[in-house]
A and B are shown apart, each in its own frame.
Chain A
Amino acid sequence: GAVVSQHPSWVICKSGTSVKIECRSLDFQATTMFWYRQFPKQSLMLMATSNEGSKATYEQGVEKDKFLINHASLTLSTLTVTSAHPEDSSFYICSASGRSDTQYFGPGTRLTVL
C-alpha cells in the first residue's frame, strides 16, 4: 500500500522559534499533498493544499505567512511553522494523493510550543 512518512514525529520548541515538518510519499508520486491540524478530541481541519511545483492553497483563516508550505518535488512537502506560539501546539498531519485520488496519511507530528 501507499506509505507516507513524516519527520519529526514530535517536537518541543520555545515560543518564537520556527519549526519545519517534512512529509514524504515513499512508494508513489504525490501530485497533491494536504496539511491538516488536529486539536485534542477534535477532528482534522484542513490547513492547505499543495500541488507539486505550484503555490499552496490555504483554507480560510489559515495565515500563509505563518504556515509556509513548500512542495518542491513529487515526493516531498514541507510545512514550516514560523514564530511558533503556544496556541500553535497541535497534531499536524499530512496526506498525499497520487493517481487514485485517495489520500494516504502520514503518522503525524506532535508540536508542543513552550
Chain B
Amino acid sequence: GQNIDQPTEMTATEGAIVQINCTYQTSGFNGLFWYQQHAGEAPTFLSYNVLDGLEEKGRFSSFLSRSKGYSYLLLKELQMKDSASYLCAVRDNGNKLVFGAGTILRVKS
C-alpha cells in the first residue's frame, strides 16, 4: 500500500528555522516532491529529490534518504507569508503522485 506521514501542524517564530518531516512507504519510488499550498489555492512546486542528499534552493532545502523512507523540508529565515500547508508527495513508478495529508505551518511574530 501507499502511506505517507507528516505532522499535522507546526508553529514557529518569524526569523527562525523549521524542519517538516515526511516518512513514506510506497510500492514504487520515482522521486519525492514538496509543495506549498495556501488556503483555497492550488499547490506550488517547491522542491524535488530523487537521489539521497540535500537540495538547497534559497531559503528552502529538502533532504532525502531512500533507505530510510524519509525526507524533510527545511525553511530558514521564516517569514509570515510562509504560513501555509506543506505537502509531501511521492511519485510512483507510473508517474502518479501520492500526497501526504499536509503539514499546516503557522508562523507567529
Residues of A within 8 A of B (CB): 32, 34, 42-46, 49, 91, 93, 95, 97, 101-108, 110
Residues of B within 8 A of A (CB): 31, 33, 35, 40-45, 48, 87, 91, 95-102
Contact of A107 among B42, B45, B48, B97 (CB under 8 A): B42
* Pair B99/A43 contact, Cβ less than 8 Å: yes
B residues near A95, Cβ cutoff 8 Å: 97
* Pair A104/B101 contact, Cβ less than 8 Å: no
A residues near B45, Cβ cutoff 8 Å: 102-105
* Pair A105/B95 contact, Cβ less than 8 Å: no
A residues near B40, Cβ cutoff 8 Å: 91, 108, 110
- Main secondary structure on A side of the interface with B: strand
A residues near B102, Cβ cutoff 8 Å: 43
* Pair A108/B95 contact, Cβ less than 8 Å: no
B residues near A101, Cβ cutoff 8 Å: 31, 91, 95
Q: Which residue of A lies closest to B95 (CB)?
A: A101
Distance (Å) between the CB of A79 and the closest chain B CB?
14
Contact of A44 among B43, B48, B91 (CB under 8 A): B43
| Closest A-B pairs by Cβ, 6 of them | A105-B42, A108-B42, A43-B99, A43-B101, A44-B99, A105-B43
Distance (Å) between the CB of A103 and the closest chain B CB?
6
B residues near A110, Cβ cutoff 8 Å: 40
* Pair A46/B42 contact, Cβ less than 8 Å: no
B residues near A106, Cβ cutoff 8 Å: 42
B residues near A43, Cβ cutoff 8 Å: 87, 99-102
A residues near B42, Cβ cutoff 8 Å: 93, 105-108
Q: Which residue of B lies closest to A106 (CB)?
A: B42
A-B contact pairs, 29 of them (CB 8 A): A32-B95, A34-B96, A43-B100, A43-B101, A43-B102, A44-B43, A44-B97, A46-B96, A46-B98, A49-B95, A91-B40, A93-B42, A93-B43, A95-B97, A102-B33, A102-B45, A103-B33, A103-B45, A104-B45, A105-B35, A105-B43, A105-B44, A105-B45, A107-B41, A107-B42, A108-B40, A108-B41, A108-B42, A110-B40
